[in-house]
Amino acid sequence: MKCSRCGKDFKTSRRGTAAFLHEHFGHPLCDKCRAKRLTKYKYMQEARKHIGDVCEACGQTTNLTVHHVDQMTNNNSTVNIQTLCLPCHYFWHQLAKRRRWPTAGRMPNIEGIHGH
């Protein structure tokens, strides 16, 4: 296989797994790829560039966080980012966990549901 980032050849016995890991994290022996490798923290920093001014669920303007709709922190496309306040973000993930949803998905707007 060839590195998609730097063109370096590398061999593997498990083509699918190695190809996935290489595509997302770079070849472990390639200095060029290793230098460009992003950590979870770096992905989260990138995601925060897309954060909005208000929680998309309740309208709160403080304690805003970034919610990844597909729960893949390395997918920072604008359609995968939702701005949620910390309480909504926590609630939505806990609900998804209790209901055994494969992913949390996009939290709906809940403003005005209980007369608030």
Q: At CB < 8 A and 24+ separation, what contacts does 99-106 make?
A: 103/69, 103/70, 103/71, 104/67, 104/69, 104/71, 105/69, 105/70, 106/69, 106/82
Mean pLDDT over each residue of the chain, to the nearest integer: 77
Answer positive or negative: Cα dihedral of 14, 15, 16, 19. Answer: positive
Helix (H, G, I), strand (E, B) or coil at 81: strand
Note the pLDDT of residue 72: 86
Instruction: Give CA–CA dist 58/79, Å, rounded.
Output: 19
The segments of the chain whose pLDDT lies below 70 read 1-41, 113-116
Please state whether the predicted TM-score (pTM) of the whole model is above 0.95: no
